[in-house]
Structure 1
């Protein structure tokens, strides 16, 4: 079986994703991981808690399905576009996750950009782009997602949800959880008033501070 370990890892991540951030009923999460020129993606029509490694399709970067008991999930088109872009630009991002959580859908339905209201936003690249609305599972939403993820580790898809990438499945899941948390924090802040937004200079200092341990540059 092609990429057996990667298929097992995709199954586990899909289950962890649902338990970590929740999602809409039905097929509302997609997980993929790339190994060289091959990509494992979650299949269409199989619930995360029922996934088996053999269910997961293995695809080539030119969108050919090489193996798997089921067809790829509808959002495989989006995932493949992101993987191709990462490979072409030499990024170390090998995993992509997307989910329709309550907070990512809410923010993506209202804002054109999620502003950085907490220093942890720096880990995703700062302000998070919200793509224009397009129909899910199409080449158009795939192109918009790939564009929004240039220089970023997460994006919001208008009226749709969130997508994140990482240098492995665990990292991609962590980034999706962070995106969901930032959306929730912003929504909570808006209930009180207009949130304070961190500037690019402040985010740059956060990134610089992140290179140190407890003994930061100004501790003495």
Structure 2
């Protein structure tokens, strides 16, 4: 995938975020790695307003902007994710309402069904830290080193992936898990899968095959 195609993919997945109501207005930000730069959404504009040319190039070695425009105010958080995870190529930060509500109420989202285990793993949690700060960026970096999703109290969710599709679908999965958790609590205490059950799911041939397909997937 060349830079032009990646910019088009950023527009596509950014509009998917709006479509799925994972942000409102100019909320949220996404980025993707391209060689020695990341392309990140600009500050102050909603995903549905952006065109391919609007995504800002940032040098991954220095963290400095190398194209016109002002990057998202969360640019350092994205940068630190790439520095800590050379295996990832995309970062998605959104404000999924049910997820924010669950963690605001002191809840935690655990594995209740196989897709959570196979596709997401476990989640990291961060107590409230002022957005757009180096402190938050460092806190996120410490969590994503061994997790693919992080929930930030009073803020939102961040997911990483080998491509934009994977990072986006992990965000969707977190919000769907929050929805299931809320529904389950209407009837009692939700049942979380045990460690043994999670290990059995990870070792299924079907899940291993699916994960290999994801690794090979194009961002689009």
| Equivalent in 121, 124, 134 of residue 129 of structure 2 | 134
1:24 and 1:33, CA in 2 relative to 1: closer, same or farther beyond 3 A? closer
Separation of aligned partners in 1, 2:50 and 2:120: 32
User: Structure 1: where are the runs of 5+ without partners?
Assistant: 214-220
Corresponding residue for residue 14 of structure 2: 14
RMSD: 1.9
Q: TM-score, normalised by structure 2?
A: 0.86
Q: How many residues align?
A: 206
Q: How far, CA to CA, are the matches of 2:45 and 2:185 in structure 1?
A: 37
Q: Is residue 115 from structure 1 mapped to residue 110 from structure 2 by the alignment?
A: yes
**Separation in structure 2 between the aligned mates of residue 130 and residue 199 of structure 1, nearest angstrom:** 20
Instruction: State yes or no: 1:102 paired with 2:101.
Output: no
Q: CA deviation at 1:72?
A: 0.8
Query: In the alignment, is the contact (CA less than 8 A) between 1:125 and 1:153 conserved in 2?
Result: yes
Name the CA distance, whole Å, in 2 between partners of 1:18 and 1:145: 23
SS at match of 1:192: coil
- SS of equivalent residue, structure 1 residue 136: coil
What's the secondary structure of 1:159's corresponding residue? coil
- Mapped to 1, the partners of 2:203 and 2:83 lie a distance apart of 30
Contact 1:98 1:161 in 2 (8 A): yes
- Structure 1 outlier segments of 4+, above 6 Å: none
Give the distance between the partners of 1:201 and 1:125, measured in 2 at CA: 17
Q: Secondary structure at the match of 2:203?
A: helix
Separation (CA, whole Å) in 1 of partners of 2:167 and 2:23: 19
Distance 1:27 1:123, change over 3 A: farther
Answer yes or no: is 1:211 the counterpart of 2:216: no
Tell me by how many angstroms 1:49 deviates: 1.5
Question: Could you say which residue in structure 2 is the equivalent of 1:218?
Answer: none
- Deviation, 1:104, is 1.6
The 2-side partners of 1:144 and 1:120 are apart by 26
Structure 1 residues 132 and 112: alpha-carbon distance in aligned structure 2, compared to 1, 3 A threshold: farther
**Are the equivalent residues in 2 in contact too, given 1:60–1:66 (CA < 8 A)?**
yes
How far 1:55 sits from its partner (Å)? 1.4
